[in-house]
Every structure is written in structure tokens, then in C-alpha cells.
Amino acid sequence: MIETRPIITIRDLKKSYDGKNYVLRDIDLDIFPGQIIGYIGPNGAGKTTTVKILIGMLSDFEGEVTVFGLNVAERPLEVKQRIGYVPETAALYDTLTPLEYLRFIGQIYGISREETEARSLKMLEQFGLKSEADVRMNAFSKGMKQKVLIVAGMIHDPDILFLDEPLAGLDANTAIVIKEILAQLAVEGKTIFYCSHIMDVVERICNRIIIIDKGVVIANGTFDELQAMNKGKSLERIFSQLTGSSGHAEKAQDIISAFHRKEAE
Amino acid sequence: MTDFILSIIDLFKGLFRLLKVDYKKFRVILWAKLTDDNRQEKSVVQRKSKKQMSNSLAWIAFIYAFIGVLVGLMLLGIQDLFVSMVLVFAIIMVMTAVALISDFTSVLLDTTDNAILLPRPVDSRTLVVARLAHIMIYIMLITLSLSAASIAIGTFKLGPVFTLVFLVSLIFSVLFVVFVANVFYLLLMKISGGEHFRDIILYFQIFMAAFAMGSYQLLPRLIEFDALKSFTFPIRWWTYLVPPAWMAAPIDAAVNGDLSGPKIILSLLGLLVPVASIVVVIRFLAPGFNRAISQMETVGTSGKREQKDKVERWNLPAFFSRLFTSDPAERAVFQLSWRLSSRDRKFKLKTYPTFGYMLIIAFVLTLIGEKNILENLQSLPSTPKYIIFLYLGCILIPVVVLQQRFSDQYEAAWVYHALPFARPGDIQRGSLKAMIVKYGLPVFTPLVILVLLVWGPAVMDDIVLAFLNMVISSLVLAFIGRSDFPFSRRYGGAAESQRGLSGFIMFVVPAFLGLVHFLMTFIPYAIPVGILIAAGIVYMGMKAYGNIGWQSIRV
């Protein structure tokens, strides 16, 4: 394999929203082209914050972050031009139609109208949304909006794709297609940054897994490496070993007994 | 409409390029924002509300145009052009600023499209200019409707030179107002540190709304227009600090050919200050403003955590719910409605200004008359005006009862349908009682103290009757809205626009009851009998309201 330079480097990254509590404390990472990164961690671990910094949405942080060798804090526009982002919340102007929305996004990336339309229609057709291309999205289900968001995230052929829980709301068939797309993109040399809570998906599609907890990286490697280090079978097991709580059975028992009516008394 | 607006903006393409704005991206963002606004109101599932909602902007324009006629009349009444122009611009600028801060805060502080736009390659300057332009379009609409009458009268009286200079001055005054509003927000953000920013804005909006409503009552009564007619405005050093004078000076200079030194300096100020301020906004304030806005979301959520235990210290809702409810479901809803109404920003914004407004009305109705305020105050105890005080209080509670059906989080009302409630009446009555207790007591207690201080204990029975009538008025409103669960309807939806009739009844019922009450004071023993009857109605009404069945609930 040819030695390549990292496409994303993170050095001593710290981030605090209020100046007191740090959401991210000292993150160091190198990410290489062609990798599918599974970025996982418990709720509130700092996943979304990391992504927002990497895509140039948040610019006041401590440390140095480069994407494509460019400093994101200083040159966010050039970075944004070459990355795609599919956010966790379905944020789009839902009074527009999918085609209108995608044309809008395309124009921002500076793609010609014809090109945008051609790409959009092709993708919408494959996602089964062709007949809805001119219907306003406020009546769309979460899954349908998610498909439009995914199309919007890829329309400018980005080199890095950031996905935050991209399969939420999608039917099983579409989910398989998305996973296949990611695998093929990675073969082409594109980089995928995949945030999720669904461990078996991460275990299957990601060739590198990064676990963060309380703003610190606690594991970083291939699934096999993580398995070897942590004597766990599944990623789910490894994850819960690393992020603290053992004794899930007892916890479940406690929760159940909390709402059971007490018949013995 | 959107295309028309955009084609006008295209005229200024060069200006935007000069400000280093990426015009192509700017235009498409503006297009998306305007299209979204345009459809937001109409696109809702309910077709019925379509007409009313899309007219809301036209309605605002109409109201401002009407006020504009009153403003324009000053041009006819006041001899000195400079004085009338200073007054016209003062009113236009103040009203525009108030509209900007109170009505368009949501547009200015909109964080919803951050998630769409921030990850895309758009520089923050273009983003801010798009945001500003979006607001300016609405502000221009208001300013133009406000000044339409002035333009018409002025053109007729003074010729086309006036029209041209007036329009130019108007644009510059809007630029200046936008700058002032921006500085105001930035200062507030700095002072409040972001966390309480939205609350501070809310109370400012409430104050402004009450002030605006009240000033229409007060100002015409306080200002003596006769004195203004022949008034002239000598230019002193402080004249140069009055922005409306900057805008008025070029008009006076152009129409009357007054090219004296002070007028030239004032005109130059009117030209340079707005231009400088808009450059300052875009160059220096905008980046900070954008960062502050994008931080606000995150700060807002982390700030909530610290409030957690503070709220429960005064457990008023729990205390009062034990006092006034017996059914557990009713009690639960009582507490829920109490808490939601304390925390829902929109709810406060829609109801609290009325409270201030009523205070001003009370002042106007009781103290301002033929004689001066002091004399009116002295003769107050010998008049039956306590009825006015008491029944103004009666109007407030139905306002709250009417409003508590609406919420931004209307979807959360699914719980009422999913939980095993035997009678929806319990839900409705719990919420009604919460509103009466939570707002009725604080409104009535000071009123009662005031009335007792001025009129003495002899009017105690009147107070009791007025209180019962307040509950009756609330019940009438509650019965009209019985098909909607508390906080279950969307603001701006069909339910809100169909509210017109209840808005009318809300004033008519207390007014009618107040009139009956007033007439009863002339009949001996009528008040105690009235109390008995009213108490009976309250008892029966509450009982009937609690028995509402599922068939009368709208899904």
C-alpha cells in the first residue's frame, strides 16, 4: 500500500462553549483517505461538536485542525467546498420541493443548474423519490427528508463525507443501498466520517473505529485491533466495557422494578 | 412576488459586489429565505386558513399605512417644513425600530437555517448581508406604508423634488435604524452573556408592545397640536445629535432652497452616518453577531440544566392545585398548565402586553377628562369608577384563557389522547382553573387593595360580584374553545385565525356584565342577590365544563 498523507489531522483539540466546562479535551487524530471512520461515543461525548469543528461550522476552538492540509479555522470556505455533511436533525427548508432545494444547494456550491438538475433527478430516481421531486417537503416523512439530505450532502461530489446517524428513518432496503454507496466511495479513495449509535452497522461498514468519551479518545483502531485489546466479541460489548458501565443486567432489573407495581406489599 | 423583489435587489448588484458579497450565493440564499417565508403561511394542510394567513403581511402594511395617514396630516397642519419633516422622520424611525426589535427579532435571531447554511461554502459576510437584506425587505414594506400618505401629500403640495429627496432620505433612515437595532442586540448579548438574552428580548418586546398600544391612547390626549402649528425649530448644537434632523434637512434644503451651513452639515450627516454605520455592521459587527447567534443554541440548552432545582423551590402550582382541584387528572393538568404558561415564551409575549395595556386604559378612562389629572383624582371616590377598574381586570383573564390553547409545541398534546382520561372535561377544567388562579389572583389582589383604599369597605360586595363575573367571562371563553386541549394548537394555524369571534366576545361579555353590575348599584339589595346568582352560574358552569366528553374534542 502506498503511504499517503493524512487528509484530516487534529492536534490538541479542546472546545468549551462557556469557558468552564470542556466538551472536547485534548483530541489528537490522523485520518487517511479511503477510510470509513466509525466515530462513536455515549450521548454528550462530543461527537457532534467534533464534526461541527471539522466541517468549519464552529471556528473558536483551541488546538489545530487541518482538512486537506488546510487550517479549518482560517480557510473554512475551501474546506466546505470539498466536503459533504448530512446532519442528524432533518434541517432543510421544507416548504421547498426536493428539486428546488437541491438547485439551491447546487448553486451555493457553484454547480450549473443543468448539472445540478441532472444529478438530482438521477439520485432522486434511485431513491424512489422521482414522482415527489416537485412536491413540497413539508408533507414528507422523516425517511423521505433524510433521502433528500443525503442527496444534498453528495451533490457536489465531496472528497470527505460527514454523516451523523444517516440511516435514521430509512427503510431497510435504502439503508443497504447507502451502506453500499459508502463502501464504493471509500474504494474510490473518498473518506467517510460516520457518527452513529448503532454498533452493528459501525462494526460492519467501518474499517476504523474511534470511540470518544467525555471529550477524550479512548479507543482508535480497526475492529480486529479493538477486539484483540479488549477481549470483547462484538463492538457493542467492547463499547460498553470502554465507556464505563458494566452490570447492564442489574441496571435493567432496577429500571423494571421501578415501574412494576408492588403486589407483594 | 419573490422574483419581483429579487429583480429590484439586482439593481444594486454593484453595491453588494463593492461590499465584497458573493452576489450569486447571496441571491440564491435570499431566494430560498423569501420562498420559504411565502410558503410557510400558505402551505399548511388546512386550506381554509390560506387566505387569512397570506394576508397577514398585507394587514400589517394596511395598519401602518393608516397610521401613516395621521403622520402625513402633519404636513398639512404644520407650517414649517423642517419641523414637520423632523416629526415625520422621528415617528417613522421610531416605529420602524420598534417593529424591527419587537416583530422581527425572530427573523434577525433565526437559528433554524444555520444547520442548512453553515456547513456550506458561504462566507460569513455574505450570510450576514443575506440576513440583513431579508429583514430590510420587510422593514422597507413597513416604512413605505408608513410614509405613503406623507409622500402623496408632500408631492401634491411641494412637487416631485420632494418625492425624490424624501425617498432617498427614507432609505438612509432605514439603514440607520437597522444599524441601531444591530448595536442594540450586540450590546444586549454582551451584557446578558447570551444565556438570558432571549428572556431579556422577550421582556423588552412585551414592554414595547404595551407601550405601543398605550401610546395611541395617551399621546393624542397629552400633546397639544395647536402649539405645533406655528412652531419653528432653531438649530442648536444638539440638533446635530438628532437623527431625524439629518433626514429632514436635505428635504428642506432641496424644496425651499435653504442652503445655509447648518442644513448642509445636517444633510451630510444624514448621508455619511448611515453609510458608515452599515459598513461598520457588515465589516466589524457581523462576524461577532453570527458567532453569537450560532453559539446561542448550544448555550441555551446548557443553561437550562442549572435552573433545574430553582424552579421547584416555590411549589405554588402544587399548593394551589390541592386547594382548587380534587380529581387527580384535573390536578395534574392544573400543574402542567401553570408551569407551561410560565415557561412558554410565545404565551407570555401574546398575553403580558395586554396587562400593561389595560393599566394604561384604566388610567385614561378614570383620570383623564375635562379637568386635570389631580382634580380627577380627588373626585374619584365620589364616582362609581371602581367598576371600570374591576372589569378591566375581568377582561384580562379571558385573554389568558383564550391564549392557553396555543403553543409552539402543540404536537406534545398527543399525550392527552394517549393517556387513559375518562373525561376530557377534567383536562379542560384543570387548565381553566390554573389560568384563573394563576392570573386572576395576582390581577385582582392589587385591584382590590386599590379599590378598597379609594372607595372603602362599602364596595366589598361589588368586588365579590366582579370576581364571580370574571370567572363567568372566563367560562364563556372556555366553552367556546372547549374543543381544543390546552397548548394543543399551532400559532398561526387555522385555529388562531378563526379566533376572531372569541376575541370580540372576550371584550363584550365582561363589558356587558360590568354594565349590568353598574345598573344594579342603583337598586337596593341587588348586589347581594347578584352574587348569589353569579355564584350559582359559576358552580353550574364549572360542573358542566368538567363534564365535556370526547365527542366535543377536535382531533
Q: B416-436 pLDDT, tens per residue? A: 887 777 788 889 999 999 999
A60 touches B at CB < 8 Å: yes
Check A95 against B299: CB less than 8 A apart: no
Size of interface A-B (CB pairs under 8 A): 75
Q: Compare A33 and B97 and report the one with higher pLDDT.
A: A33
- Is there a contact between B252 and B258 (Cβ–Cβ < 8 Å)? yes
pLDDT for B104:
64
Residue B59, Cβ density class (10 Å: 0-12 exposed, 13-18 middle, ≥19 buried):
exposed
Helical ranges in chain A per DSSP H: 47-54, 76-81, 98-109, 113-126, 142-154, 172-188, 199-205, 223-230, 235-242, 248-259
Domains of chain B by residue range = 2-7+24-38+57-299, 318-552
pLDDT of residue B471: 93
Whether pLDDT at A185 is above 90: yes
Whether B89 contacts B165, CB under 8 Å: no
For residue A92, tell me if it sits in a domain: no
For residue range B274-292, what is the model confidence (pLDDT) as tens digits? 888 878 877 777 666 666 6
Higher pLDDT, B104 or B321: B321
* pLDDT band at residue B231 using 50, 70 and 90 as cut-offs: low
Instruction: Please write the tens of the pLDDT for every residue from B126-142.
Output: 887 888 888 888 888 88
Q: What's residue A4's pLDDT?
A: 76
CB contact under 8 A, B291 and A60: yes
Contact A91 B36 (CB under 8 A): no
Report whether pLDDT(B166) > 50.
yes
| pLDDT for B223 | 59
From A19-28, A124-133, B485-494, the region with the lowest mean pLDDT: B485-494
Q: Quick one: average pLDDT of B305-317?
A: 57
CA distance B85 to chain A (A): 43
Backbone angles phi, psi at B196, to 5 degrees: -100, 10
> A175: pLDDT confidence band, cut at 50, 70 and 90?
very high
Q: Closest by alpha carbon to B176, among B102, B85, B280?
A: B280
**Backbone CA torsion sign across A155, A161, A164, A168:** positive
Dump pLDDT digits (tens) for A76-111.
888 999 999 998 877 788 888 999 999 989 988 889
Pairing state of beta strands A191-195 and A160-164?
A: parallel
Q: Which of A95, A104, A105 sits opposite B39 (nearest CB)?
A: A95
Cβ–Cβ below 8 Å for B25 and A57:
no
Residue A92, by phi and psi: left (phi above 0), alpha (psi -120 to 50) or beta?
A: beta
How many whole angstroms separate alpha carbon A64 and alpha carbon A35? 21
**Average pLDDT rounded to a whole number, residues A121-141:** 90
Q: What letters, b where the CB count within 10 A reaches 16 and e where it falls short, cover B336-351?
A: bbbebbeebeebbbbb
Q: Which residue has the cell 479512548?
A: A218
Q: Does A73 touch chain B (CB under 8 A)?
A: no
DSSP B88-134: HHHHHHHHHHHHHHHHSHHHHT--TTHHHHTTSS--HHHHHHHHHHH
Angle between helices B160-192 and B81-103 (to 10 degrees): 40
Give the pLDDT score at B304. Answer: 42
Provide mean pLDDT across the span B511-532.
90
| Cβ contact, residue pair A108, B119, below 8 Å | no
Q: Which of B110, B114, B118, B124 to mutate to test the interface with A (most CBs of A within 10 A)?
A: B118
Q: What is the pLDDT of residue B162?
A: 87
Contact B46, B494 (CB under 8 A): yes
**pLDDT for the residue A1:** 47
The arithmetic mean of pLDDT across residues A45-56, rounded, is 89
Could you tell me if residue A43 is inside a domain? yes
Report yes or no: A109 at the B interface, CB cutoff 8 Å.
Answer: yes
Put simply, the answer to whether B36 touches A108 (Cβ < 8 Å) is: no
Top mean pLDDT of B46-60, B169-183, B228-242, B297-311 is at B169-183
Domain housing A67: 1-81+199-252
Total domains, chain A: 1
Q: How confident is the model at residue B309 (pLDDT cuts 50, 70, 90)?
A: very low
- A76 located within any domain: yes
Q: Is the ipTM of this complex over 0.85?
A: no
The alpha carbons of chain B give a radius of gyration, in whole angstroms, of 27
Give B439's DSSP letter: I
What CATH number has the domain bearing residue A7? 3.40.50.300
Beta bridge partners, A85, equal A162
Look at B119 and A87 and tell me if their CB atoms are within 8 Å: yes
Highest mean pLDDT among A107-121, B230-244, B497-511: A107-121
User: What residue type is assigned to position B146 of the chain?
Assistant: L
- B463 or B497, which is more confident? B463
CB A27 within 8 A of CB A212: yes
Predicted pLDDT of residue B301: 42
Using a CB–CB cut-off of 8 Å, the residues of B that contact A are 24-25, 28-29, 31-32, 35-36, 38-40, 43, 45, 112-116, 118-123, 291, 294-295, 298-299, 302
Q: What is the mean pLDDT of chain A?
A: 88
Q: What pLDDT does residue B44 have?
A: 36
